[in-house]
Amino acid sequence: KNEVEQSPQNLTAQEGEFITINCSYSVGISALHWLQQHPGGGIVSLFMLSSGKKKHGRLIATINIQEKHSSLHITASHPRDSAVYICAVRSAIQGAQKLVFGQGTRLTINP
């Protein structure tokens, strides 16, 4: 069974702090996605990774395929980064379409 676990579940930090959110998964994957969900519920795709590292603005995502682990980092965090961050993976099984989601990490950045 494909499990996706995130840590921490909740994270509160001060503006400007460096943030790290972790994701571990249990099966071989073809891709891992980091998503952002705002209080209204909408989901925005941040990154799709199959290896290495990607950077977009203050956000950095890394993945270690051998260890089945990914991290999302936020540098110089800001209150507008407050949201739920979700890791989701697509299995490497041929024909697999679905994403399996983690439970999300609720991030609160205080001014």
Partner 1 sequence: EPEVTQTPSHQVTQMGQEVILRCVPISNHLYFYWYRQILGQKVEFLVSFYNNEISEKSEIFDDQFSVERPDGSNFTLKIRSTKLEDSAMYFCASRQGLNYGYTFGSGTRLTVV
CA–CA distance, 32 with 35 (Å, rounded to integer): 10
Q: Work out whether 88 is an interface residue with partner 1 (CB under 8 A).
A: yes
> Is residue 98 near partner 1 by the rule CB under 8 A?
yes
- Closest listed residue to residue 14, CA positions, set 94, 97, 82, 109: 109
Tell me: does residue 63 bind partner 1 (CB under 8 A).
Answer: no
11 binds partner 1 (CB under 8 A): no
Residue 103's region, left for phi above 0, alpha for psi from -120 to 50, else beta, is alpha
Residue 109 Cβ vs partner 1, minimum distance, rounded to whole Å: 22
Binding site for partner 1 (CB under 8 A): 30-31, 33, 35, 40-45, 47-48, 86, 88, 95-104
